[in-house]
Amino acid sequence: MERLTDIIALVGEETVRAIAGLIGVLIVVVVNAILLTWAERKVAGHMQRRIGPKEVGPYGLIQPFADTFKLLAKELLVPKDVAKPLYHLAPILIFIPVLVSFIVIPFDAQLQVKDINMGILVILAFSSLSVFSILIAGWGSHNKYSLIGAVRSVAQNIAYEIPLLLSLLAVIFMANSFSLKDIVEAQKGLWFVFYQPIAFLIFFVAGVAETNRTPFDLPEAESELVAGFHTEYSSMQFALFFLAEYTNIFIVSAIATTFFLGGYSGPVLPGIIWFFVKTYGLVFVILWFRWTFPRVRFDQLLNFSWKILIPLSFINLLVTGGILKI
């Protein structure tokens, strides 16, 4: 115990907290991805009147671990003509926004790695790296299907990032803060979803599109593009793209919970339980979408954003600003 105290004094308490927070974030990211891969199969199975995973462990709970070991054991194949610096950088780069986002999300009043005044701006700024990594993955793969998927992802992200930002801006106006914890505390009386139902719907739809989930999964449409931007990836490089996708689903749901559903606030139960109940409730809805709606055409996807969501989000923002000014 004395040696541990000496180490903390030598390194610095802030540094130790940062390292502990980063390790905690990595654990949460991995466990969350494992849970969601199992949940997606179970949700899909029950919606299609099937059981889902059931052979590997009770209720198939060990199936995700078996899949992880399978990916670790697979050979890392690199196609002959790829641009190797870009090809190898993409799966690493896509994982950075995941770690940064978890650092500023308040899971409870006392459970947040770092409360930054501009917390939401940090998440949104680093989220652009995800699209950049998809672009260089498609460009560096020397595969026309990968390139088409990457270009689709860039166009889709540009279109849906605008209404997503505008919907969050309406809540920021009301909370008068960019800090995620301040936004949660501002909802102690009534959740912002009751003040901003249109902004919530806009954000949620745009969030589904930003995470490339059905019915907006055009960048990785297997019926047209084999697997889209990650067609040429295998083993753990593919697993990093897979891990980032499922983690981004959680992050979008966590932001929606923080901005519109009161975050960790709730009666009786500890705040962290309320946070995860709300967040995984939204995650379930996103999984539900996959087995309910058919994939849209790419022109329909872009038209829906530019002609409907963006004008609607501007109108909502103007109305919000006008009411607050009065």
At residue 114, what are phi and psi to the nearest 5 degrees? -150, 125
The interaxial angle of helices 63-73 and 235-260, nearest 10 deg, is: 140
| Residue 281 banded pLDDT, cuts 50, 70, 90 | very high
Q: What percent of the chain has pLDDT over 90?
A: 19
Question: What are the tens digits of pLDDT across the range 237-249?
Answer: 888 887 888 888 8
Band of residue 225 on the pLDDT scale cut at 50, 70, 90: confident
> Residue 271: is its pLDDT beyond 80?
yes
Residue 176 has φ and ψ, to the nearest 5°, of 60, 40
Cβ contact 104:116 at 8 Å: yes
Q: What is the mean pLDDT of the chain?
A: 83
Q: What is the pLDDT of residue 9?
A: 56
Element (H or E) spanning 94, and its range?
Answer: none
Give the tokens for residue 110. Answer: 């006392």
Write the CB contacts of 249 (distance below 8 Å, at least 6 apart in sequence): 36, 211, 213, 283, 286
The continuous run of DSSP H or E covering 51 comes out as none
What percentage of residues in the chain have a pLDDT greater than 70? 94
pLDDT score for 13: 63
Residue 215 in this model has a pLDDT that exceeds 60: yes
- 320 token code pair: 């919000």
Predicted confidence (pLDDT) per residue in 118-176, tens digit: 778 888 888 777 888 888 888 888 888 888 888 888 888 888 989 999 999 999 988 88
> Which of these, 63, 308, 319, 325, lies nearest to 209 by C-alpha position?
308
pLDDT confidence tier of residue 263, bands split at 50, 70 and 90: confident
Helices (H), 186-270: 192-195, 197-210, 222-225, 235-260
Residues 91, 237 contacting (CB under 8 angstroms): yes
Q: Which tens digit of pLDDT belongs to each residue from 291-324?
A: 888 888 888 888 999 999 999 999 999 998 888 8
Q: What is the pLDDT of residue 206?
A: 92
The string over 195-213, giving b where at least 16 C-beta atoms fall within 10 Å of a residue's C-beta and e elsewhere, is bbeebbbbbbbbbbbbbbb
Most confident of 1-15, 109-123, 141-155, 225-239: 141-155
Q: What is the pLDDT of residue 133?
A: 84
> How many residues in total does the chain contain?
326
CA-nearest of 224, 278, 239, 185 to 30 is 239
pTM for the full model?
0.88
Give the residue with greater pLDDT, 297 vs 21. Answer: 297
| CA-CA-CA-CA torsion sign (21, 23, 24, 28) | positive
How far apart are the C-alpha atoms of 144 and 314, rounded to whole Å? 37
The phi, psi pair for 33, rounded to 5°, reads -65, -40
3-state secondary structure of 267: coil
DSSP string spanning 119-144?
A: HHHHHHHHHHHHHHHHHHHHHHTT-H
Type of residue at 76: L
Other C-beta atoms within 10 Å of 272: how many?
15
Task: Kindly state the tokens that stand for 73.
Answer: 């054991």
**Residue 36, Cβ density class (10 Å: 0-12 exposed, 13-18 middle, ≥19 buried):** buried
Say which residue the tokens 């680093």 belong to.
126
Contact 183, 177 (CB under 8 A): yes
SS3 98: helix
Query: 30 pLDDT band (50/70/90 cuts)?
Result: confident
**Res 12 pLDDT > 70:** no
Task: Count the Cβ atoms, other than its own, within 10 Å of residue 281.
Answer: 12
Strand partners, 108: 111
